[in-house]
Structure formats: C-alpha cells, structure tokens
Amino acid sequence: MELRGLRDDVYRRPLATALDRLGIGPGWTCVDVGAGGGDVTVALAEIVGHDGRVYAVDSDPLARDEVASAAAANSQVLAITQAGEDLRLPELVDLAFCRFLLMHVLDPSVVLARMASAVRPGGWVVAQEPITSAGRIAGLPFSMPDARHPDIGALLPALVRQAGLHIVDAWAEAPAGAGPGPVATYLEHLTEVDPGDDPVVLPPLVTVVAQVPSA
C-alpha cells in the first residue's frame, strides 16, 4: 500500500501492513488517538479521501495546531483536543487507531475500551505499541524512563483481548540499521544522540489488528 503521508517514517511498514489487512479505502471514517504531529492522520486522510473523515484526537492542545498544518490539504481531517480516556466522537467510526500512545497513558485498558466503544459493530481497532527494552544500540538495551509503560507492546495482544475485541492479526517488527540513514536519523531525533556507526535495532513495534464483534 502506498502511504505518501508517512514520508520517511521508519515505522511505515508495519502501518502499511496493518492497513492492508483492513481493506481500508475511500469513504471510511477513522480516529487517530494520540495523533501527535499527525503523520498517521495524514496517511489515513489520503486513503479515505474527501468522502471519508479522520478525527485526530490528542490531549495536548498544541497537537491540534500541528495536525491542522500537516493536514491543511485534507479537509476531511478534524482535529480534536480530548484525552483518549474521554474519547467521544459525533459518530461511530470504521477504524480506531493508536500508535505510541498506550505507552504514555495512565491506564491503557481504559483507553482501549474507549477506542473499542467508538467503533461500529464489525469495525476495526488497530494498536501499535513498542517493546522499548527490546531495542538495541551497539548491543545494549534501549530505555525510555519518561514513558509510563515502555514495554507495553509485550502485553498488547492480551489487553486487546480483554477489551472484548477479536484479534485478526498480531506481530512485532523492528527497523534496524548501521551508519547514516533513516534509522540513525530517527534515533538522533528521539534521543539527541548520534549513534555514529553503531548498529541500531529500534524498539520492536507490536501491531494488533482487531475487530469489534458484530451486533
């Protein structure tokens, strides 16, 4: 699947694979929870087109401005300042998506339950979260002390199941590299440390593609 909106996003491959599983297309309605700067929001907007709608939800009001500017050409994007724990949309959507969100929230199961209840019967929930400590820089494990649940990816399939969703597919995938390139650039952006020629395996992203039971 072509994801022009993701540009040089190193985690674009697991996203493309997940969206392929859904058969997402023009006219779909989606919510990107914890949308941040809107990379995924824009990718979704380009897929659903002007007949679809993408709600970009984030608890940080600054994210709304960032998404608005990233999605300026996509009038189907509606940016909302709202916590995932309070997720409430004007309609049931076809897809609720989150990436690198549950690792930061107080209680991931509360947010997953809200995402599930935002989706129409038979619709989809896709969550992508890391196992931070499984990443490696020069053979040494990553750490992310600021995140509440840095290794939540390891629990993600169980959490999704506990939310009453039917898991259709789940896997883990990690970008890797050595020397200059997108992986080193991403790491430098994240940590402000240039890994030089050290080998890097970024934290594996666990993807869970799940379906809301039909009514």
Ligand X SMILES: C[S@@+](CC[C@H](N)C(=O)[O-])C[C@H]1O[C@@H](n2cnc3c(N)ncnc32)[C@H](O)[C@@H]1O
| 58 touching ligand X, by CB under 6 A | yes
**CB closer to ligand X out of 139 and 189:** 189
| Bridge partners (DSSP) listed for residue 30 | 54, 95
* Minimum CB distance to ligand X, residue 149 (Å): 11
CB-nearer residue toward ligand X: 85 or 91: 85
Determine which residue in the list 20, 60, 65, 194 makes contact with ligand X, applying CB under 6 A.
60
Binding span for ligand X by CB under 6 A among 58-66, 69-77, 165-173, 192-200: 58-66
| Token representation of residue 135 | 């990443």
| Shortest distance in whole angstroms from residue 106 CB to ligand X | 7
SS in 3 state form for the chain? CCCHHHCCCCCHHHHHHHHHHHCCCCCCEEEEECCCCCHHHHHHHHHHCCCCEEEEEECCHHHHHHHHHHCCCCCCEEEEECCHHHCCCCCCEEEEEEECCCCCCCCHHHHHHHHHHCEEEEEEEEEEEECHHHCEECCEECCCCCCCCCCHHHHHHHHHHHCCCEEEEEEEECCEEECCCHHHHHHHHHHCCCCCCCEEECCCEEEEEEECCCC
**Closer residue to ligand X in complex, CB, 39/94:** 39
Closer to ligand X by CB, 82 or 211: give it: 82
C-beta closer to ligand X: residue 94 or 129: 129
Query: What would the x/- binding string for ligand X be over residues 80 to 119, using CB under 6 A?
Result: ---xxx-------------xxx--xx--------------
Residues 120-159 that bind ligand X (CB under 6 A): none
Q: 183, exposed or middle or buried, with CB in 10 Å at 0-12, 13-18, 19+? A: buried
Among 13, 16, 17, 59, binds ligand X (CB under 6 A): 59
Closer residue to ligand X in complex, CB, 119/121: 119
Interface residues with ligand X (CB under 6 A)? 33-36, 39-40, 58-60, 63, 83-85, 99-101, 104-105
